[in-house]
Structure 1
C-alpha cells in the first residue's frame, strides 16, 4: 500500500515514467490488486502508450467487469482512440451508475463531463459539494465548468469566486477574467469549457510550441502540461516532436530524460529527431561529460553512467564521441560541438544495425568536426584538424566524404 501511494503521488506530480516503473513492479508482485493496474493504465496513457493503457484496463475488467475506475479510464482512452461504438456503450452504462464513495463520484463526474454528459456531471458534482463538504479548488472548478456547460454561468461564477476566496486558485481567477472579458465584449463566449484544472492551452500541438519559459506562471510543473509534451513527442508531426524534445530538455528533470531515452529506442522514429534527442540528453550532462562522474577522458570507449543511451554502441563508435567531447570539454554552448554530436548521432542511427568498422576513432572525430564546422559556418582546415587529433589529413578528407554521402547533406 505504501508503494502504491508513492506511485500515485508520482502520477499526480507528473513523474509518469517513474510511476510506470514502480507500478509495473507492483503488478508483477500483486497481480490481483486492481488499483495498481488502474494507475498503471493511467501512467501508460499520460506517456502516450494508448494500446498498453487499454490492455491494462481490460485486465482489470476481466477480473471486475463493473470496476468504476477502469470503466471511466477506458472511456477516456476510447475518446483518444476514436473508438466511438465502444464509447457509446460505455456512456450508456456510466450515466446509470450511482457511486456511493466521494472518490468514485468525483471520478465518474469528471469522466461524464469529458463525454459531454454535462447535466449528469453537474448533478454529481453539486451532490459531492453538499454531501462530502469538499471545497478543494479542483472540485470547485469542475463544478463551475459543469454549471457553465449546462447554461448556468452565474453559478459557475460563484463557484470560481469561492475557489479564489478559499485558496487563491489561479485557474479559477483565469476563468473569472474570461467571464469579465466576455461581458465587456472583448472576446466571444466559449461554447464549452474543458474538464481540466489548468489554464487552457489548445491541444498538445499548441503546448509543444511553447518552451517551459513561455508557459504561464504556475503551469511549468503542471502534470497535464508535462503529459502534453509527452503526447507531442509520441503523436506530433516532425516539427512538433522537435519542439517537444527541446522543451523536455529544458525541463531538465528525470521525467524528461526518461521520455527522451524511450524515444531513442523507438525504431520508427526519424534519425534526425533521434539525433536531436541524443543531443538534448547530452546537454543535461554539461561539462561533466568530458571528465565527470568518476570516469577519465582517456578511458577507451568509456562514457559517463548518465549517458547509458550509447552503451550498446561498439567501443570505437563511443570513442569518436568521447574524442569530440575531450576536444571541446563538452561545451554544449559551442555550436560546432553541438552540431558535431548531432551529426555523429545521426550517422550512427542511419548505419545501425550494421555499423562500419572504425579503426581510427580520432580520424572519424576529426572528420565529424570538419563537416560540422562547415555546416555552422565556422570552417576549419583539414590540416589543422588532422594535427590536433593526431591523424593524417588524407584520412580526414576521405571520412568526411563518407559522412556527407551517408547523411545526404552537403
Structure 2
C-alpha cells in the first residue's frame, strides 16, 4: 500500500518580507503589514526587517507601536542603527512630544552628522528649539496636558458649554500666551458669553502679534457688527477682502464671516473661491448654492443643489432647497434670503416632526393608506429617525413593531447603512426587521464594512418560555439600570431571546442566575462596543470572572457570528 504523507511547507521570513515590499510598492499597505508581521515573527532579531516594520506601522498611523519597535531595535538589537533615531524623532514629533523628538534628532546628528537625513534633522532641530521657546520651555507632559485641555475646550464650544470652554482656554493661554488658535477661541468664547469688550481686546492682541491673522480679523468684524459700529465693520470687511487664504479652513472662515454679515456679493465671491479648492465637498456645494440664491442667480443655485443630490444623497438639503429655488425663480413664493447653514430651516424640521406625530397617532390600516397616498412620508420618517436617534426614533420603531408595518422595511434597511448610526441602534434595527417579518439577510454597515446578518425564525418558543430565562433577563436589566446613557432594554431582551431561540430546544441549564445575567450584560457591551471587563462585571454581580467567561462563550457560540463578534 502506498503511504501518502502530508508535508507541511513553511515559507521563510525573506519570502514574506519580499511580498510585503511588493504590496507597499502597489500602495496596499494593510496587506503589506500582514506579510511583514509574519516576517518579523519568524525573524524577531532581524533589525532591518524590524526597522521596515516600524516604518510601515508609522505610515498606517500606528505611531506608538512603531515607536516601541524602534526602541526595541536600539535597546536590544542594534544600538548603532542610526536611522532608528531619526524615525523616533519623527514619531515623537507626531505625538507632539517636542523635547523627546529633539532628543532623538540630536542623537541622530551626533551618530551620523553627515547622514542621509542630516540636513532634514538639522532643520527640524532648529524648528523645535523655536517651538520650545514659544511653549515657554514646558515639559512634554505638561504640554500634552495643555493640548488636551484645548481639545476639550473646542468640544465644549461645539456643545455650547461656553463657561467650561472659557475656563479651559484661559488656563491654556496663561501657560502659552502665544498660542494663537487658543487665543482666537478664547476671544470667541468671551463673545458668546456676552463679554464683547474682552473678546475685542483679545482679538486685537492677536493682530498685534500677527496683523493678517484671518480668524482674528473675521472675529472682529462679527464683534463690531454686534455692537452696531458700522464704520469699523466696513474697515474689517475691506481688510478681510484683501486677505488671500492658502487653506480651506481660512477660505471657509472668510466666506462664513461675510455670509453672517449679509454681504451677499462678497460672500458669493468668497464661497466661489472656496469651492474651487474642493468642488466635490457637499458642504461647500450647498453653501455656494445658498450664496448664488441670495444673489438671485437661480439657475446656478439650481445646478448646485442638483449636484448636491449626486454627492450627498443623505443630506436632504438638495431636494428641499432645489424645490424652494424653483418656487422662487417662478415667483410662486416670495423671495427670502437664506442663512448660510447646512441644515433644514427650523420650520421645515418642525413640519416633518408634526407629520411623524400624525403617523404615530394612526391605526395600522390608516398608516398603510398614508404610505400609499403620501409619497413623502417615507422620506420624512427616514429624516426624523436620522435627526433624532433617541426619542422620536424609538417611538417610530415601537410603532412599526407594534403594528408590524412591513411597508417601511426599505426605510429601515436604508437606515442601517448610514455610517453615523450607533452600532447598538443598528442591532436594534435588525431585530425590528426580523420581528415584522422582513426576509433575510439584513445588510448592515458595521466598522466600515457592509455585513449580511441573519436571525433565526421567530416561531420556536410559543408557550415554552421558562421562569429562569425571564429571571436572567430581569436581573440583567435591574443591574444595568443607571449604568448606561444609551437605551439598552430592547437590545438586551433581543440578545437574550435570540440566544434562547438559537439554542432551543437544547438551551443550556441555568444554574446561578447572577452568572448568566453578568454574561448577558457582557454580551450587550461586546455587541455595542461598550468598554467593560469581565472582572468589573464579576465584582458587580459578585460572581467569579471565570464563570462569566464560560457563560459568555456559550452565548457567543450561538449568536456571536451574527455581528462579527467573538469571545
TM-score by length of 1: 0.45
Query: Which structure's relative contact order is higher, taking Cα pairs within 8 Å and 6+ residues apart?
Result: 1
Name which one, 1 or 2, has greater alpha-carbon Rg: 2
